[in-house]
Structure 1
Amino acid sequence: MQRFRQLDLTTRFAPRIPRIVTQCAVGLVSAVLAILLYSALDRITVGKGAPFALCFPMMLLATLLARWPAGAISALLGIGYAWTVTVPGMLGVRDDATAWVTLIFILLAVVLTIATAELFCRAVERATREREQQIADRDLLLQEIDHRMKNNFAIVASILDIQRRRADGEAADALGTALARVESIARAHRHLYRGVGQSDAVQMRAYLGDLCAALADALLLRGGITLACSSDEVDVPRDRAVSIGLVVNELVTNAAKHAFGGRAGGRITVGFRQRPGGWTLLVSDDGVGMPAAAAPAGLDHGLGSRLIPAFARQAGGTLTTESGREGTTVTMDLPA
């Protein structure tokens, strides 16, 4: 409906060109085309063609392009030309009763054709307005939901932060990790609903860049330990982007806490790349590597180790881990 409405030249050219000017121009051009086409065909048929035949499709086209005034102008000029120039030569006497009866039926057909086309245009216009109103109402509702969701995320994050500040030891670490997870989801939400009419996808370069910057601040990565993030400009569906962000959150948090073994310097790298048939997430560090023995038991570490595969499954990805003396690299391959 929207594409058909764009055919209305009076709307497209307004207000630069007045509607009546557009309608007169369209009516005149369509009538001239009908006359020229008939003249060309008349030479082939040697005066045996129907003089009014081409007037009807042209007046229909004029009505669809510029509404009924254009169709009326096209009909008046085209049929007037045929009646005054062509019909007398074909019938011999223009005042013949049969000719006038024929003209009356032609005029009735003209009125019905233009009226039908005009009613169709109005129906399209009405349907388009209703659709635009529905879209406007939906966008307003989404904005309200977006606003409420942002408030809810802010409240939850504030409560967790207050509890984290009051706690110490493992409880503070666990609350800090929970806070980072909530903020990861909140950032995905902000990047998804960043304006009216956005698609159901998250732009990963901006999302991961924002997430890594927040993780660097939250984990107090200062001095020799740095966090670098790079990503291709790709859009990922919302639910999968949230899961990918949670995987990044867990992997970076684990690397910051366990990869460097008390070393003052180190580097954590996050990369998201598009490949044929999907995407690849890489999170690597240049730390001491994972020990061959079981990792030390701890609330955050143990929970994170269980959450990472769960988040990867939600994203539809497959995890592989490579670890050695030069560090650890976790790769998650995701089909498109």
Structure 2
Amino acid sequence: MGRLGETDLADRLSPSGRHTLLVQVVFALLVTGLTVALRAVIDSISPAAGPFSLGFAAILVATLFGRWQAGVITGVLTLVYSWYFVLPAQNSFLLKNAEDTGRLILAAINYAAVLVIAELFRRAVRRATAERDREIAERDLFLEEFDHRVKNNFTLVAALLDMQRRRAKDAETAEALSSALTRVESIARAHRHLYRGAAVSRGEADMATYLEELCAALAEALFLRGAITLDCVCDHAAIPRDRAVSIGLIVNELVTNAAKHAFAGRETGRIEVRFEAAAPGWKLVVRDDGVGMPDIPKARGKDGGLGQKLIDGFVRQARGTAKTESGLDGTAVTVVLEA
């Protein structure tokens, strides 16, 4: 019901306010015309039944959509019409029955009451709408400021990690810092894509757009050009953004691991990321045609062990299960996600 009071034809059809009265008069005439037409249909079935009943609805509609001026015009016109054409004697302002005078006065009073109530309701809704719009504007401003601060924080953390990586003299330390830098940059990309713009209002992300942008950024960051390629094939699917972040981080870890370890001693290769609908939900596959995984697991505490723990954690956050298949023709990790 509140939506009715938000529609103001005078504002919509005359934003400048120069033709507000004209809009109200035309709208009042339109409402009155429809009321007269409906009155004619009723008179063909039951002549003179409820002579003033349609006026209440007409005044209500005219006031809600055209303000009190349109309601006054509609009320006067419908009252005069009912007096002249419906009350006996018809086609005359003379009242045949003495009680019709009281009915006419009572109808006028009730018309005025309906008009006042409708106008008060319309104004209350307009005030509530204005307050809501103000709060939304303040929220958007806060989110914009928050987004800017988060973006700056990500940039600062990435810069510090990169600085430490460049100063590290130990190769293992430098590699660990490089991996941490890549993960921070992946989370920053997720934030930029999923927590800004239209995605905020919906609370969901289109996985095709998100993963394609993520793969393009990974290809650039990992220098996957020419001989080693990264292909991304994704179905469009609306996924809650928190789950989408976890899925993106899974892709980041798997692609990074493949780029670093799958093509040892080779100059050519292909990594494929595929996201598609599959009962009961979706399926994510990251596949490479590299040398396969070694039979001996990596020792705990190494980067590989940390990477696997991160992948397992991200899979749980995404509400999925992971399966790894590896051989001489490469490695494929399949993550089945619940609906």
Q: Same fold (TM over 0.5)?
A: yes
Contact kept in structure 2, 1:170 and 1:299, CA below 8 Å: no
Moved over 4 A (4+): 90-93, 95-98
2:97 and 2:300 map into 1 onto residues whose CA distance is: 108
138-147 or 263-272, larger mean C-alpha shift: 263-272
What is the Cα deviation at residue 265 of structure 1? 1.5
SS in 2 for 1:89: coil
Q: Deviations over 1:46-94 (max 9, x none)?
A: 44x2321222211212212212111111111111122233334179953
Decide which of 185, 192, 195 is 2:197's aligned counterpart. 195
Q: Deviations over 1:246-282 (max 9, x none)?
A: 1112111221222123212211111222335422111
Q: Deviations over 1:177-209 (max 9, x none)?
A: 001111111101000233266432233233323
Structure 1 unpaired stretches of 5+: none
Change (3 A) 1:20 1:275: farther
Change (3 A) 1:14 1:193: farther
1:316 and 1:65 map into 2 onto residues whose CA distance is: 49
Tell me if 1:58 matches 2:58. Answer: yes
Contact kept in structure 1, 2:5 and 2:121, CA below 8 Å: no
User: Which residue in 2 is equivalent to 1:176?
Assistant: 178
16-25 or 101-110, larger mean C-alpha shift: 16-25
2:159 and 2:115 map into 1 onto residues whose CA distance is: 65
What is the Cα deviation at residue 2 of structure 1? 7.0
Decide which of 179, 185, 208 is 1:205's aligned counterpart. 208
User: Which residue in 1 is equivalent to 2:154?
Assistant: 153
What is the Cα deviation at residue 216 of structure 1? 2.6
321-330 or 223-232, larger mean C-alpha shift: 223-232
Size of the aligned set, in residue pairs, is 335
- The equivalences for 1:6-85 within 5 A come to 7-15=7-15, 18-47=19-48, 49-85=49-85
| RMSD (Å) for aligned C-alpha atoms | 2.5
SS in 2 for 1:151: helix
SS in 2 for 1:101: helix
User: Which residue in 2 is equivalent to 1:127?
Assistant: 128
User: Which residue in 2 is equivalent to 1:279?
Assistant: 282
Change (3 A) 1:123 1:92: closer
SS in 2 for 1:146: helix
Decide which of 283, 290, 293 is 1:290's aligned counterpart. 293
SS in 2 for 1:318: strand
Contact kept in structure 2, 1:174 and 1:299, CA below 8 Å: no
1:45 and 1:297 map into 2 onto residues whose CA distance is: 91
Tell me if 1:94 matches 2:92. Answer: no
What is the Cα deviation at residue 5 of structure 1? 4.3
- TM normalised by structure 1 equals 0.91
1:221 and 1:38 map into 2 onto residues whose CA distance is: 76
2:37 and 2:300 map into 1 onto residues whose CA distance is: 90
Contact kept in structure 2, 1:231 and 1:272, CA below 8 Å: yes
Q: Deviations over 1:192-233 (max 9, x none)?
A: 233266432233233323322332333333442222223223
2:211 and 2:43 map into 1 onto residues whose CA distance is: 70
Contact kept in structure 2, 1:6 and 1:12, CA below 8 Å: no
User: Which residue in 2 is equivalent to 1:262?
Assistant: 265
Contact kept in structure 1, 2:234 and 2:275, CA below 8 Å: yes
1:324 and 1:156 map into 2 onto residues whose CA distance is: 38
